[in-house]
Amino acid sequence: MLRGNERKDIFMDDEDKARFLDVLYTKREQESYFIYSYCLMDNHIHLVIKEANDSISRIMRRITTSYVGYFNRKYKRVGHLFQDRYKSENVESDGYLLTVIRYVHQNPEKAGLAKAETYPWSSYPGYLRGAGDRYLPEFGEVLAMFSENPDVGVEKFRQFHTELSQVTCMDIAQDDEVDNVQIHGQMEQFLQAKGIMLVDISKPEYSDARRELIIWLQENTLMSGRKLAEVTGINRETIRKILVSGTS
């Protein structure tokens, strides 16, 4: 798992996510590692990969170095993009491998973004297309754990994913959550001091207060852009512009 530095977003748009996948596929071909699952969220990434000809630390360093170079050039920034070192754990059985794959694929649904099968930035839709994905032949290996018949394997894999997993891999699921009660309390204090109601914060005449609120919340809670949009009701693109340039 890779997280954005200070939990900030590491993907600002779909182009960024597509670029990361290009890096992931390219480095896979160069370094000969195996990819069993992935999911790109706004401020973190989940990967299930297997070493082949190189160590996990070298693999991750090459992936992140390539993407950070692109990101910094695009947004004219310098400094760290990812928070510290990646987190990892060993997968030591087929059963746990399937559990982790499902956990990764269910992230968008648990976050309220989209159904797992419709979220475009995870490997789950590729699995549902069968083992013929040109990028990830490892899918066939996983589907074969369910059935030697590819079509049956896909259907059983789908059924397996309808079971909502309660497993918290690497104990990180709650690490991304912020206490909503505390957040709303902080917002109320901030807005009361300015004499503004939350329902009015999106109005044009409150653009300065809106910018101050978003920057203040991000600095004090380290929420992602998605979470900021969720708790404030402010348009996500507006929040992105505020966080990138300080303007709304």
- Enclosing domain of residue 188: 178-245
Q: Within this chain, do residues 49 and 70 fall inside the same structural domain, yes or no?
A: yes
Instruction: Note whether 169 and 198 are same-domain residues.
Output: no
Last residue of a domain, one of 149, 174, 199: 174
The SS3 assignment for 35 reads: strand
Q: What is the b/e burial string over 146-175, where b = at least 16 CB atoms within 10 angstroms of the residue's CB?
A: beeebeebbeebeebbeeebeeebeeebee
Q: Based on the structure, what is the number of domains in the chain?
A: 2
Q: Count of residues for the chain?
A: 248
The answer to whether residues 198 and 155 belong to one domain is: no
> What does the pLDDT look like over 206-237, one tens digit per residue?
889 888 888 888 776 656 676 778 778 888 78
Same domain, 81 and 166: yes
8 DSSP assignment: -
Pair (22, 117) in one structural domain: yes
Same domain, 36 and 128: yes
What confidence tens digit (pLDDT) does each residue in 137-152 have? 788 899 999 999 988 9
pLDDT (0 to 100) of residue 136 = 66
Q: Quote the pTM value.
A: 0.68
Q: Are residues 53 and 99 in the same domain?
A: yes
Identify whether residues 127 and 205 lie together within a single domain.
no
70 and 128 assigned to the same domain: yes
- Is there a single domain that holds both residue 92 and residue 31? yes
Task: Kindly report the CATH number assigned to the domain that includes residue 129.
Answer: 3.30.70.1290
The pLDDT profile of the chain, 248 residues, written as one tens digit per residue, is 999 988 889 999 999 999 999 999 888 887 679 999 999 999 999 999 998 888 888 899 999 999 999 999 999 998 889 987 788 888 878 888 998 999 999 988 888 888 999 999 999 998 998 754 555 678 889 999 999 998 899 999 999 998 866 566 664 444 444 456 567 777 888 888 888 888 888 888 888 988 888 888 877 665 667 677 877 888 878 888 887 765 55
